[in-house]
Chains A and B, each alone.
Chain A
Amino acid sequence: MSEVAVKGAVKHYGTVAALDGVDLTFADGEFFGLLGPSGSGKTTLLRAIAGFIELDRGEIRIDGTDISRIPVHQRNIGMVFQNYALFPHMNVAENIAFGLDVRSVAAAEIKQRVSESLDLVRLSGLDQRRPKQLSGGQQQRVALARALVTRPQVLLLDEPLSALDKHLRQEMQVELRRIQRQIGITTIFVTHDQEEALTLSDRVAIFNKGQVVQAGSPRAVYERPVDRFAAGFLGEANFLDGRVSVIAGGVARVVLSTGGEILTPAADLALNEAVLIALRPEKISIDPAPAGAAAMPNRILGTVVAAIFSGSSLTYRIAVGDRIFIVFEQNKSRAPLPEQSAVILEWPTADNVVVKP
């Protein structure tokens, strides 16, 4: 079990910077999600840790040892590939035994450890099957068993669940978490699925253009995004821009560029400062507007443009002036608010998050 530290990682492809000065530390036993759009550098970092990519600058340390110059096969990592990459000419047991075999582990011990691994991923009895005789979820488990049987210091997962259908994916998420907890291995995984990242990770890092935009616990990153990109990439957000007009008692009053006022925790805002505020759609409560209702700070009037029904929840698109607000509402007893009806949107001051543009 090990700590992985990445320092000043830089990798260029031609003029494009795939990694542009990345510093991240993955704590011992941590489940860490690398999240970002394609081409943001998350996969490059994972492959650099695995050893498939050599960094232009920077270093990667496992438990303090610089592994940047150590070839892949001497790094003691376990990796699960997006398409599982099971050896088609070997059966399940042979696939899992491969890593032990090349390390010249004794036959009896190989047998023992292969069978333990199969138990761990709950595939006992399938050891003689060929990979193509297995379902996607089973192949995934074999790939996991194969990566773990050599007792690596770090487990690397490259979009491990993206090839599975939704139901199976959720089942495997739980399974993956259980196995990771059970053996307590430091795990780094790449995904573009934000929900998956939030569900699985102890911490996440959001990548954009080769840099880490923000790293932290899923809740911290979700509730307190640092900039527009982080707020927009992880979940949905309404963005409000305006200027600070009054600061009093730790609360700033912001006059929005589209009219209306909101209150936000002042933190380190200055008077007259231009600010951008992110507001999560589920933080807003929505109600039919009574006749003569007036706007107040953190309370604005709008018109329903569309109500999108998606089973457990509703997504409203609300026109406020020429701006559209997105509002999520749990599907409770009330019938959806009709289109074109007037509504009041309201939310607490604490949910206004000042973000960098």
Chain B
Amino acid sequence: MTPTTRTRWAILGLTGPAYLWLACTIFLPIAAMLALSFLDKSPLVPKPASFTLDNYGAFFGKPFYWSLTRWSIELGFWVTLFSFLIGYPAAYALAKRVKGRWREAIFLLIVLPFWSNALVRIFSWTMVLRSNGIIDLGMQSIFPGAPTVDLLFTYPAVVIGLVHSYLPYMILTCYIALQAIDDSLIEAGRSLGASKFTTFRRVVLPLSLPGIISGSALIFVPVIGSFMEPRILGGTKGATLGMNIEEQFTVTANWPLGAALSFILLAIVLVIFGILFPFLRKQGGAA
């Protein structure tokens, strides 16, 4: 065997299993879902199904789905924004200020949400947010007679729960980006006459942009499809596209509509990525 063919076989041998696994677990089900989204009946119905575009038509025809989509995207926007506002300063402090063993300890605290079960996490928020919950009791003890704080089943409750779940993504991606910025670049900016803030705005922020964007993508995409947090923390106020899709499968048993809505969600995500991609590549190439 020549070295080139050997390399080729090695690459095939090493990547083959991964591709096979991905093909079986992702592309096949997605292909099945895509086919399903064009059927007029659920496979559960014992009648032969036929091809239709009605499921997609339903989405574009009913303003209800439009507002649902807008809600979902808005939710994604707010959760991403708050994750950034909270996560970026934390990542900055970790990457540029905290040194040594403290950094590991604080890291552990940040990653903790990943280790707890999502349901446990969300239900524990209900105890914090409901009337007579921890926030409410705290407020009452500091300001006796203050109006009751009952955030449960409100829009803010959904945002709070989702920010909690997804914040670590933002911190981790921003941390990696910030940590890769050599301190001498910041010093160079300062030595050239830029104040701390100007150096941050002109040097640190642009160089950490890839981290911010990938963190935002990692948060935005799952949030607009989320259904657990909106259901448990938002109740009727938290209706999202993700919740509706879940209902199509589990409650109304309209699988084709659920599948069609899923693909619309996927399309929205792809469009957003399509917009961000050139930007990501430009920044990534420069860094």
- Tell me the A residues contacting B by CB distance below 8 Å: 50-52, 71-74, 76-79, 81-83, 85-89, 98-99, 102-103, 130, 146-147, 150, 156
Contacts and interface: CB of A to CB of B under 8 A. Distances in A.
Given A87-B188, A89-B206, A130-B286, 16 more contacts: A50-B187, A73-B193, A73-B194, A81-B188, A83-B182, A83-B184, A85-B185, A87-B203, A89-B207, A89-B283, A98-B189, A98-B202, A102-B195, A150-B192, A150-B193, A156-B191
Contacts of B189: 87, 98
B192 A99 contact: yes
B231 interface: no
B193 A102 contact: yes
B191 A79 contact: yes
B191 A78 contact: yes
A190 to B, nearest CB: 14
A117 to B, nearest CB: 13
- Sorted nearest first, the 10 A-B pairs with minimum C-beta distance are A99-B192, A85-B188, A85-B184, A79-B191, A72-B190, A102-B194, A89-B286, A81-B184, A89-B206, A73-B193
Contacts of A156: 191
Contacts of B195: 71, 73, 102
B286 A88 contact: yes
Interface in B188-228: 188-196, 198-199, 202-203, 206-207
A338 B247 CA distance: 95
Nearest to A94: B202
B287 interface: yes
A86 B286 CA distance: 12
Contacts of B187: 50, 52, 72, 79, 81, 85
A309 to B, nearest CB: 41
A56 B283 CA distance: 41
A98 B191 CA distance: 11
A150 B192 CA distance: 8
Interface residues of B, number: 22
Contacts of A50: 187, 191
Interface of B: 182, 184-185, 187-196, 198-199, 202-203, 206-207, 283, 286-287
A78 B191 CA distance: 6
Nearest to A47: B187
Contact of B287 (A74, A85, A88, A146): A88
B36 to A, nearest CB: 46
A181 B105 CA distance: 52
Given A52-B187, A83-B182, A89-B286, A102 B198 contact: yes
Contacts of A130: 286
A99 B286 contact: no
Contacts of B283: 89
Contact of B207 (A79, A88, A147): A88
B198 to A, nearest CB: 6
Q: By CB atoms of chain A within 10 A, which of B188, B198, B202 has the most?
A: B188
B11 to A, nearest CB: 28
A79 to B, nearest CB: 4
A29 B185 CA distance: 27
A52 B196 CA distance: 12
7 contacts: A52-B187, A52-B190, A73-B193, A73-B199, A85-B184, A88-B286, A99-B192
